[in-house]
Amino acid sequence: MAKLSGIKVNEFAIGMGPTLFHFGKGETKYSLRLFPIGGFCAMEGEDEDSSDNRAFNNRPVWKRILVVVMGAVMNMVLGLILMMIILAQQPAFSSTTIAKFTEHSALQSAGLKVGDEFTNIDGYKIHGDRDLNFALATANPDSIDIQVRRNDKSLNFDNVKLNSKEMDGKKILMLDFYVKPIKKNFPNLIAKSFQDTASTVRMVWYSLAGIVSGKFGMNDMAGPVGAASVIGQAATIGLQQSFISALNNILMIMMMITVNLGVVNLLPFPALDGGRLLFLIVEAIRRKPINPKYEGWVNAAGFCLLIGFMIIITFNDIMRLITGKGFGG
pLDDT attached to residue 329: 54
Angle at 253 between CA 299 and CA 225, to 5 degrees: 60
- Work out the mean pLDDT of the chain and round it to a whole number: 88
Identify the CA nearest to 211 among candidates 309, 75, 315: 309
**SS3 at position 125:** strand
Condensed to tens digits (0 to 9), the pLDDT of residues 114-170 reads 999 999 999 999 999 999 999 998 888 889 999 999 999 999 999 999 888 877 667
- Which pTM value belongs to this model? 0.83
Average pLDDT on 16-39 reads: 90
Residue 91, pLDDT above cutoff 70: yes
Condensed to tens digits (0 to 9), the pLDDT of residues 159-200 reads 999 888 877 667 778 888 999 999 999 999 999 999 999 999
Domain positions in the chain are 92-183, 186-329
Residue 326, pLDDT above cutoff 70: no
Identify the CA nearest to 78 among candidates 223, 229, 225, 256: 256
Among 32-46, 75-89, 132-146, 307-321, the least confident range: 307-321
Residue 328, pLDDT above cutoff 60: no
CATH superfamily of 92-183: PDZ domain (2.30.42.10)
pLDDT attached to residue 215: 78
pLDDT attached to residue 168: 66
Looking at residue 36, the DSSP 8-state letter turns out to be E
d(C-alpha 122, C-alpha 162), whole Å: 13
Please, what sign has the CA dihedral across residues 298, 204, 197, 40? positive
Does residue 112 contact residue 132 with C-beta atoms inside 8 Å? no
d(C-alpha 189, C-alpha 193), whole Å: 6
Does residue 182 contact residue 92 with C-beta atoms inside 8 Å? yes
Among 25-34, 100-109, 265-274, 319-328, the least confident range: 319-328
pLDDT attached to residue 327: 62
Looking at residue 128, the DSSP 8-state letter turns out to be S
Average pLDDT on 70-92 reads: 94
Identify the CA nearest to 143 among candidates 118, 197, 106, 98: 106
Q: How far is CA 43 from CA 11, 55, 79, 142, 253, in A?
A: 7, 7, 25, 54, 31
Strand partners for 19? 33
Does residue 202 contact residue 126 with C-beta atoms inside 8 Å? no
Among 53-62, 84-93, 212-221, 299-308, the least confident range: 212-221
Q: Which tops the pLDDT comparison, 98 or 222? A: 98
Identify the CA nearest to 128 among candidates 201, 78, 230, 76: 201
Q: At what angle do helices 243-265 and 61-88 cross, to 10 degrees?
A: 160
